[in-house]
């Protein structure tokens, strides 16, 4: 009964929050916390409480509680928590960023990236989560393998051009590999595959070529990445993403402090 009641109270609280009735939302989320019997329920209730508290210190305390409870659930191999982990870590990162702890925020964004890696890229909100993590890591000064001005310029160009499919593809590899040993090589390969897919404009393709060469030099010491990449005659993952994500803006209201629904 605990899980159903907590979920119902959080849904009611979210409706109140959406209607800008924050005091009512606080009451409902507090009731959800009071009725939470399992670590999973406490993690969810604490996350929602973190959304509407009135001080940065309280927000951080509830966000930490949410992550700690989620860790307990994960230790029990309760798969219900896995889709929620990226959002919980993002909320914790945002709270840390708000109080000026950039290093702590960076670690939580990286934890969100690791949690997102185990989910399918087609999972609900995957593109939004990727974009928030990407912006959050940038804000906290994280330098990923292959990071360079050319890569940043290329991503910013895709954002300006509203090239949502290619942008989602790049961010998926850029974010979900963060903190892993092979991240740099995987990212360069993704850029090469995007180059070969032929889904970009001439200007975007030129910017991508510069990004590939710069990233390849940083990661593997070889600037000639594009020439060695082989395009497939079949529909590539890049082309699939380009078609499937049209109209879905992964950046939306994205910022390092965005509050996400789970």
Cα(151)–Cα(36) distance, rounded to whole angstroms?
45
Q: How many CB atoms lie within 10 A of CB 234?
A: 6
pTM: 0.76
pLDDT digits (tens, 9 = 90+) for 148-182: 899 999 999 999 998 888 888 888 888 876 766 78
> Is 81:118 a contact under the CB 8 Å cutoff?
no
**Beta-carbon contacts of residue 256 (< 8 Å; ≥ 6 apart):** 93, 94, 97, 105, 132, 135, 136, 139, 140
**Residue 235 carries which DSSP code?**
P
Residue 1 banded pLDDT, cuts 50, 70, 90? low
Cα(40)–Cα(27) distance, rounded to whole angstroms?
20
Residue 126 banded pLDDT, cuts 50, 70, 90? confident
């Amino acid at each position: 009964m605990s899980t159903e009641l907590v979920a119902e109270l959080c849904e009611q609280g979210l409706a109140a929050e959406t209607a800008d009735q924050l005091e009512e939302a606080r009451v409902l989320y507090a009731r959800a916390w009071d009725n939470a019997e399992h670590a999973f329920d406490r993690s969810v209730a604490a996350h929602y409480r973190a959304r509407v508290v009135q001080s940065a210190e309280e927000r951080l305390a509830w966000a930490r509680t949410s992550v700690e409870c989620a860790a307990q659930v994960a230790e029990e191999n309760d798969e219900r928590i896995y889709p929620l982990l990226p959002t919980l870590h993002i909320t914790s990162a945002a709270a840390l960023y708000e109080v000026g702890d950039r290093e702590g925020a960076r670690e939580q964004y990286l934890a969100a990236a690791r949690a997102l890696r185990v989910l399918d890229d087609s999972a609900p909100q995957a593109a939004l989560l990727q974009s928030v993590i990407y912006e959050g890591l940038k804000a906290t000064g994280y330098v990923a393998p292959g990071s360079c001005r050319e890569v940043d310029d290329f991503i910013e160009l895709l954002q300006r051009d509203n090239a949502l499919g290619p942008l989602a593809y790049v961010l998926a590899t850029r974010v979900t590999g963060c903190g892993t040993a092979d991240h740099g090589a995987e990212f360069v390969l993704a850029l090469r595959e995007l180059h070969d897919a032929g889904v970009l404009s001439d200007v975007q393709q030129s910017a991508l070529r510069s990004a590939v060469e710069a990233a390849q030099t940083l990661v593997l010491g070889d600037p000639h990445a594009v020439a060695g990449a082989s395009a497939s005659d079949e529909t590539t993952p890049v082309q699939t993403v380009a078609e499937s994500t049209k109209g879905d803006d992964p950046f939306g209201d994205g910022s390092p402090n965005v509050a996400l629904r789970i």
